[in-house]
Copies of this chain bind each other. A is one copy, B any other.
Amino acid sequence: MSSEATEERVLEAIAARRELVNDALDDDVPMGSPERLYEATRYLLKAGGKRLRPTVSLLTAEALADVEPLSADYRAFPALDGTEIDVMSAATSIEVIQSFTLIHDDIMDDDDLRRGVPAVHKEYDTETAILAGDTLYAKAFELLSETGADPANGLEAVRRLATTCTQICEGQALDIEFERRTEVLPEEYLEMIELKTAVLYGTATATAATLMGADDDVVEALYRYGIDSGRAFQIQDDVLDLTVSSEQLGKQRGSDLVENKETLITLHARQQGVDVDGLVETDDVDDVSEAEIEAAVERLEAAGSIEYAEQKAEELTARAKEHLDVLPDNEARDLLADIADYLITRGY
């Protein structure tokens, strides 16, 4: 991304769609009975979120339709065959899946907080949280089956979403397995984040493209855009944890190191012979000192590990943007490219 003006434009594009997605989620995941179940189902969705995945879904549709961004009704959007489809439902279905995975992940990891509020299993209970996740899971497939798109495309979108959900489960299972293992290779880590995080980005773009009626090679290229920028996004998250102040992060800088969470950075450092486990002695984020974190970051910098991760994220982003060549040259395509840049230049 070249300038602050571009970053501002990206943030505006995301914010405008976030508002529309939030309204749509309120309609697409309505209250129901039993009340407690449905309250839990809506709880995390209402707690906020950047809505990046639905945003790239919507932008993909706009780029393919070659329309002025935000000019067409997402609920009656012009598909390539001239019919109208509900591309917003496709976008919300992705966010609904994301929400289900976060609820179940928080149970598995016994995390207390999510998006600044208690995790669903803490605010309600584990039984309700399991069921809330399961309810959202079904809701996503329901939404995706009712977009009004050509049925063959609708069914293909369902098939991809199902495969993606399987991969997310595999990624989470690997993540749990890695915590119990003594050695994890950087390539294994990259595979894990591809499964756990990036495939849903890929599916966000591919699903919109499939429902729009795009050709298979276009769908595949847009899928790769999502995968590559999604991986870059996750790596950047790991970089930010070390390079941004606690104040900006909204949580303790270096918390990944304190909690012994492996990242591409620590895995690279291990390969360089750094005693990663000894970098931070404190194992409670409330007790760690800024000086201890600073010393650890200096060691990782000296080993070239932070730079290694940053380079990896940049490479992936460059590749992601190349895949956008399949799209018509228009503002929505430019925004998708700028979003990919933003994901690795953002400060928090």
* A291 contact set on B, CB distance < 8 A: none
- Give the Cβ gap from A194 to chain B, nearest Cβ, in Å: 13
A36, A173, A177 pick with most chain B CB within 10 angstroms:
A173
- Give the Cβ gap from A180 to chain B, nearest Cβ, in Å: 10
Interface of A is mostly: helix
Q: Interface digits, A27-67 against B, CB 8 Å rule (1 contact, 0 not)?
A: 00000111011000000000000000000000000000000
- Who on chain B is nearest to A32 by CB? B170
* A172 contact set on B, CB distance < 8 A: 131
A128, A155, A159, A172 pick with most chain B CB within 10 angstroms:
A155
CB within 8 Å of B: which A1-47 residues: 32-34, 36-37
Of the candidates B32, B37, B165, which one forms a contact with A134 in the assembled complex, judged by CB atoms under 8 Å apart? B165
CB within 8 Å of B: which A121-157 residues: 126-128, 130-131, 133-135, 137-139, 141-142, 145-146, 150-152, 154-156
Q: Given the interface contacts A134-B165, A137-B134, A169-B37, does A159 sit within 8 Å of B174 by beta carbon?
A: no
**In the complex the two chains form, what is the Cα distance from A165 to B164 in whole Å?**
19
CB within 8 Å of B: which A84-134 residues: 104, 107-108, 126-128, 130-131, 133-134
Identical subunits present: 2
* A133 contact set on B, CB distance < 8 A: 134
A33, A135, A141 pick with most chain B CB within 10 angstroms:
A141
A267 within 8 Å of B (CB atoms):
no
> What class of interface size applies to chain A in its complex with B?
35 or more
- Who on chain B is nearest to A137 by CB? B137
* A141 contact set on B, CB distance < 8 A: 141, 158-159, 161-162, 165
* A158 contact set on B, CB distance < 8 A: 141, 145, 155, 158
A72 within 8 Å of B (CB atoms):
no
A134, A150, A159, A164 pick with most chain B CB within 10 angstroms:
A134
A33, A34, A139, A150 pick with most chain B CB within 10 angstroms:
A34
Task: Contacts A145-B158, A146-B159 known; list 13 others, CB within 8 Å.
Answer: A34-B170, A37-B170, A107-B130, A108-B126, A108-B127, A127-B176, A131-B169, A131-B172, A133-B134, A135-B169, A137-B137, A145-B156, A154-B155
List 11 interface pairs A-B (beta carbons < 8 Å), by A numbering. Answer: A34-B170, A36-B177, A107-B130, A141-B158, A141-B159, A141-B161, A142-B163, A145-B156, A150-B151, A151-B151, A155-B155
By a beta-carbon cutoff of 8 Å, the part of chain A in contact with chain B is 32-34, 36-37, 104, 107-108, 126-128, 130-131, 133-135, 137-139, 141-142, 145-146, 150-152, 154-156, 158-159, 161-166, 169-170, 172-174, 176-177
